[in-house]
């Protein structure tokens, strides 16, 4: 997910943005992870049963 936050932060720093904007942009990857992660977690496609059924 660094392909979002690092370029955004670099461009903002290059343009002379204040430090608080740079900090916010450095955390922008969390927003991207949330957007892609929540639907994936709610769909339960990531959860696999790796234990043999005992019944």
Each residue's pLDDT tens digit, 38-52: 998 888 777 777 777
Tell me the whole-structure pTM to 2 decimals.
Answer: 0.61
pLDDT at 20: 94
pLDDT at 16: 94
**1, 8, 29, 37, 42 from 45: Cα distances, Å:** 20, 31, 22, 11, 8
DSSP state of 31: H
pLDDT at 28: 87
| Greater model confidence, 18 or 53 | 18
Dig out the tokens for 28 from the structure.
Answer: 């922008």
pLDDT at 34: 92
């Amino acid at each position: 997910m660094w392909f979002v936050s690092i370029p955004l932060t670099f461009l903002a720093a290059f343009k002379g943005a204040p430090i608080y904007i740079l900090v916010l942009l450095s955390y922008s990857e969390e927003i991207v992870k949330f957007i892609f992660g929540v639907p994936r977690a709610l769909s339960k496609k990531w959860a696999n049963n790796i234990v043999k059924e005992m019944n």
